[in-house]
Amino acid sequence: MRIALASDHGGYRLKEFVKSLLQSLGHEVLDFGTHSEESVDYPEYAAKVARAVARGEVDRGILCCGTGIGMSIVANRFPNIRATLCHDEYTARMSRLHNDSNVLCMGGRVLSPDKAEAIVKIWLTEKFEGGRHARRLSKLEEIEKAVCEEGGLDEAS
Ligand code: RB5
């Protein structure tokens, strides 16, 4: 796969680890930074990856910050992004089976390298189950459309 990768300073070491892992697995990696542990603002880096995934320039994205929380908040503001913050093998697996995750978010201050490797490998290989989960994702798209294009903040859905 062609995978976009980015981090802030809190996720920099994990991002470098994940980059090596992805390359060793034969994936093409686009590294959008950051390139050191100097303090930066995570929204800028999350936006670069989310935009590339939303535009179809890459197959998937991976984002690392201290907790993974900030990255997931930003990425999920983009259309067609299903960014999932995963802490373990179970959340990684479910994020693919049920949520068709296209952006994986992880916390560099939360995960050991071994745990991150297990998460990434599962997230890369598990397949979306479809069925009732596809129905739920289409509802998600309807909500996004109503909120973004029709100013649907009054809807109770
Ligand atoms: C940076 O200190 C930290 O806030 C950031 O990496 C991330 O955890 C935000 O959600």
Opening angle at CA 62, ends 61 and 68, nearest 5: 135
pLDDT classification of 148: cutoffs 50, 70, 90:
confident
Least confident stretch, 9-23, 37-51, 143-157: 143-157
First to last CA, the chain: 35
* pLDDT at residue 54, rounded to an integer: 97
Q: Is the pLDDT of residue 157 over 60?
A: no
pLDDT tens digits, one per residue of 95-138: 999 999 999 999 999 999 999 999 999 999 999 999 999 999 99
Residue 17 Cβ contacting ligand 1 at under 6 Å: no
Give the Cα separation of 145 and 139 in Å (integer). Answer: 10
Atom of ligand 1 nearest to the CA of 65: 6
105 catalytic, yes or no? no
pLDDT classification of 65: cutoffs 50, 70, 90:
very high
Give the Cα separation of 19 and 3 in Å (integer). Answer: 10
As a whole-number percent, the residues of the chain with pLDDT over 90 amount to 90
Token reading at 141: 């798209």
Atom of ligand 1 nearest to the CA of 11: 6
Residue in 64, 65, 86, 105 annotated catalytic: 65
Q: Whose CA is nearest to atom 5 of ligand 1?
A: 66
Q: Whose CA is nearest to atom 8 of ligand 1?
A: 66
* pLDDT at residue 149, rounded to an integer: 79
Over residues 8-12, the mean pLDDT reads 98
Q: Please tell me the distance between residue 126's alpha carbon and the centre of ligand 1 in angstroms.
A: 28
The mean predicted confidence, pLDDT, of the chain is 95
Residue in the block written with tokens 């509802």:
139
98 catalytic, yes or no? yes
Select from 15, 65, 71 the residue to mutate for testing ligand 1; criterion: most ligand atoms less than 8 Å from CB: 65
Q: Is the pLDDT of residue 21 over 70?
A: yes
